[in-house]
Amino acid sequence: MLLDASLSQLVLVDYQARLMPAVFESEAVAQNAVRLAKMAQMVEVPVWGTEQNPSKLGENLPDIRALCRKTLAKMHFSGVEEGLGEWLRAPAKAAPQGNARSLPKHLQKPQAAAEERNTIVIAGCEAHVCLLQTALDLLEDEFEVWVVTDACSSRTERNRDAAFDRLAGAGAELVTTEMVGFEWLRTAEHPAFRELQALIR
């Protein structure tokens, strides 16, 4: 099973200014998060962010925050507890409008179904707390969850790796930044191929 850009959304969890200096391999992790968001924009995948208690931990790093459509401020460790799932669900179709002179139903144009993007590509910090709890809640809400391992970390390597083990056991797919980018493209003939290739070199 490969990622499909038309079914994907990207969630970037808590790359916050006051947290990142304490995170294992933080510079590489943040660079990969930026790459992911830029790749997502190349293939029209929506990008969302979360921030844990931003009044204490600060906002996400500016490069990451600027690439997100919206950023959810939260106090729960899981973004789903604060409404992230509603952001990720396709909007409900509007009820038909009209009056007594409206056309009969069989003559009305069918409404386009709202686009379902139930594949969530997720990365963030700390892997064993906010990322883990958000991803597990998304799985419980019947999203497909793909965790980008080289764009995730914790203060310790052991905690990060324990999170990956638990997520894999729960049914999440573990991938890397490059895997995501090339699966979204699928072919070297994609218009964004050269731009993506330049981004990862």
pLDDT given for residue 112 in this prediction: 45
- Host domain of residue 195: 5-89+137-200
Amino acid in position 131 = L
Q: If you average pLDDT over every residue of the chain, what do you get?
A: 91
Whether 192 maps to a domain, the answer reads: yes
Q: Is the pLDDT of residue 77 over 70?
A: yes
pLDDT tens digits for range 13-41: 999 999 999 999 999 999 999 999 999 99
Max CA separation in the chain (angstroms): 67
Task: Say if residue 101's pLDDT is above 90.
Answer: no
b/e code 145-179 from CB counts within 10 Å (16+ = b):
bbbbbbbbbbbeeebbeebbeebeeeebbebebbb
Q: By the 8 A CB rule, do 81 and 73 touch?
A: no
Number of domains the chain is built from = 1
Q: How confident is the model at residue 108 (pLDDT cuts 50, 70, 90)?
A: low
pLDDT of residue 120: 98
Torsion of CA 201, 149, 135, 86, to 10 degrees: 0
Residue 23 belongs to a domain: yes
pLDDT band for position 114 (50/70/90)? low
Q: What's the CATH code of the domain at 188?
A: 3.40.50.850
For residues 169-177, average pLDDT: 98
Residue 121 maps to a domain: no
- Using the structure block, give the residue that is written with the tokens 């191929």: 193
Q: Is the pLDDT of residue 45 over 60?
A: yes
What pTM was estimated for this model as a whole? 0.88
- Assess if residue 127 is contained within a domain: no
